[in-house]
Each structure stands twice: as structure tokens, then as C-alpha cells.
Amino acid sequence: MNKMTVRDANFAGKRVLVRVDFNVPLENGVITDDTRIRAAVPTLKYILEQKPKALILMSHLGRPKAKGDADTSLAPVAPALAAHLGVAVAFADDCVGEVADNAVAALPDGGVLLLENTRYYKGEEKNDAELAAQMAKHGDIFVNDAFGTAHRAHASNVGVSAHLTAVAGLLMEKEIDYLATTIESPKAPFVAILGGAKVSDKIKVIEALLGKVDKLLIGGGMANTFFAAHGIEMGDSLVEKEAVETAKSLIASGGDKLMLPIDAVVADAFDNAANKKTIAISAGVEAGWRVLDIGADTVKAYGDVLKNAKTVIWNGPMGVFEMPNFAEGTFAIAQLLADITANGATTVIGGGDSAAAAEQSGLADKITHISTGGGASLEMLEGKELPGVTAIKDK
């Protein structure tokens, strides 16, 4: 990676402004998954060890309807972060202006401050220059460790870099190394697994990967559109009719690299308690039934491919894993990846739902790398330049 990182900077005695990704799920003000908080801790501890004057953190959370939206306040994150860091974390009710300025000024030497949601300001997502300038006032140097927003040119991750030297945090460095380097120079055999609901969301990723992988395994709702392209009846399954022609084109260009499920678990309703059965896809799906997971024969076929793989990238679940009765296929793929990781393969999960599925399966710690950024991961897999990465100073 030809970008400056925290290892190239001196933080002693400086106010260090860090863009973190604390976009965590909340229910009634309680954090239900602290993965993103834990992911930021190594960078923050690294900076604190260098005795900075202050550590000021900013992040977005959700999509606030208005400034002060209680459901999207970062306030619950401060105590959770303090527990992981082992130091006090102050909280400011704003990210710019008098409240934020006073909170920064009140910090003791080496103090840590979390600013309120950057998206309370409309200028955040517009990369407003004045808002970025106000944010930049808080620091002497800028660290971007928010890979989850690296594909967006916002004030808090791109705009501030016009005012402060920007370096990558350890998480950002790790994400770039695993995603970009894995794509550029993978050990063969190289296998990609793509799932999720829609083909249209991943057309460019499929096109980019087909030229690089030895096999591309398809699952999830997007597989239904490929089946429809083969002329197979799909019953009440989710099919993107407008993407069928695109699927035909991908099938033609993919040849034997592109693998589709051979069986599926179907249900008579979109409900965990629905009646279910396993069918051979070639027989089609009868009216009133829909595909909600891959079947055991598909897991075996995909396992035969994966057992010899040296590099695997996975983005998107194999079924509706949020429902326990339709999670078996997705969890089985996670187990296959854990098994080959133990045997020396490099396995990378590209954020989003597949990352959540790996966590739910209890196998997350057995995967080489799980990305914290869904959209950013996809765009990196497409080969796009990410604005948040571009804004970091070159070595």
C-alpha cells in the first residue's frame, strides 16, 4: 500500500483527529453489535501510546432525519469505547461549533473525546468545504480509519484532508491490504463466492472477478435470476426480471467458471415457520413456493471446489440466513471457509450481510479477514478508486 499510515506519523503532543466507523446497530439506545468499535481499538491504542495532546473521534451513525435525532446519537458509544480502551471517553453533543470546540478545549492532556454524529449536518454527505474546515480545526493531524465510508466523498473523511495531513489507521491499512492485494495477486486456485438478493447490485463485481478467478460460486436470491435466464420456472422466488438478459450475458462470458446451485430449500411462505422442502433446481419451483436457501448437494459441490482453494473472497449470504430455518446453507459455507483457513488458505469476507452471517455462525475468528465495509468492499472488488483512500497522503 503506497499510502502513509499511522506508522509514518508522530503523534506526540498533537491533537489527533480520527475518522472512525462507529456506525453500530442500536436498539433502544443499546448497542447490539460492537464489532466496529472493537475494530478501531488497535489504531486508537497505537496513537495513545505515543502520548498525544488529545484524541478526537468523529463518526456517522445511521441516516438521521434531523439534527439531534435521538435514535442516531453516538452517545451510547462513548462508554462502550471506554470499556474497550481502558480510559475515560468524553462525549460532545455536537461535532462542530461552540459545543464541540469547548469540549476539545476542556480535554486533559491525553484525553479522548467522541464527537456527535457527523450526519446531523447535511453538508457532511455533500463534502461541504466550510463544514470540513470546522471539523479540521479540532486536530493537528488527521487519521482515517473508517473503511466503511471510504467509498463516499464526505466532509469528515475527504474534506478534512484538504486542511490536515491525512494518514491511514491500522484498520484502513488492513482492509486495503487484504481486499486490494488479494485481488491483485491472489494465490491460485482463486475462488469468489457471491450471494445476496440482487444481480443488479453486483454486475460490475461479477464482471471484474470473472477475469481473475478460477471459479465464481453464486448463491442467494441473485441465483434465481440466473436460473430464470436458463428458462427455469422459479415460482414465487425473487427474480429481477429486468436483469435476466444481463444474467444471460454473464452466463455466456463466465462459461464453466460460473457455478450455480444445483438444489435449493424452498418454502411456501417468506416465514421462518413456513413449510419447506429441498428440490433439484432443474425441476423448477412450483407456484406458491420460493427459494430461501441453497441445498445440501450445492454445499457439497461448492465444498469440492473450495477444499483446494488457496484464496477465497465471499460477499453475500447464500439464503435468508436471518431466519434460522434457512440459514444452514450460509453457515455451511462459513464452515467450509473456516476449514480451509485452518489449512493455510487466505479467506476474506467482504463486509455487509456475509460478515454478519460469519459472526452469527460463531466462525468469525476462524476467517483470515472480515471487512467492516459492505459498499466499500464491493467497490474495491470492482477495482474502483475509493475517495476516502485517495485522500490519504501518498508515501
| Residues pairing with 31 in the sheet | 26
Q: How far is CA 68 from CA 116, 117, 392, in A?
A: 9, 9, 30
> Which residues, 6 or more positions from 246, have their beta carbon under 8 angstroms from its beta carbon?
199, 200, 203
Rg (CA), the chain: 23
301 contacts 264 by C-beta, under 8 angstroms: no
Choose, from 198, 257, 310, 366, the residue flagged as catalytic.
198
Choose, from 3, 14, 15, 36, the residue flagged as catalytic.
36
Grid coordinates representing 220 are 442467494
- How far is Cα 247 from Cα 230, in angstroms, rounded to an integer? 9
Cell 469528515 -> residue: 156
Give yes or no: 119 in active site.
no
- How far is Cα 225 from Cα 245, in angstroms, rounded to an integer? 9
- How far is Cα 291 from Cα 326, in angstroms, rounded to an integer? 10
Quick one: DSSP state of residue 182?
H
30-31 and 54-58 beta bridge pairing: unpaired
Alpha helices (runs of H) in 67-202, residue ranges in sequence order = 77-85, 97-105, 129-136, 170-176, 182-184
- How far is Cα 361 from Cα 336, in angstroms, rounded to an integer? 12
Put the strands of the sheet holding 215-218 in their side by side order.
Answer: 258-259, 215-218, 190-194, 311-315, 346-349, 369-370
Grid coordinates representing 207 are 464482471
- How far is Cα 122 from Cα 178, in angstroms, rounded to an integer? 33
Give yes or no: 36 in active site.
yes
Choose, from 62, 235, 303, 375, the residue flagged as catalytic.
375
Choose, from 352, 373, 374, 388, the residue flagged as catalytic.
352
Grid coordinates representing 233 are 420456472
Give yes or no: 241 in active site.
no
Catalytic residue numbers read 36, 198, 352, 375
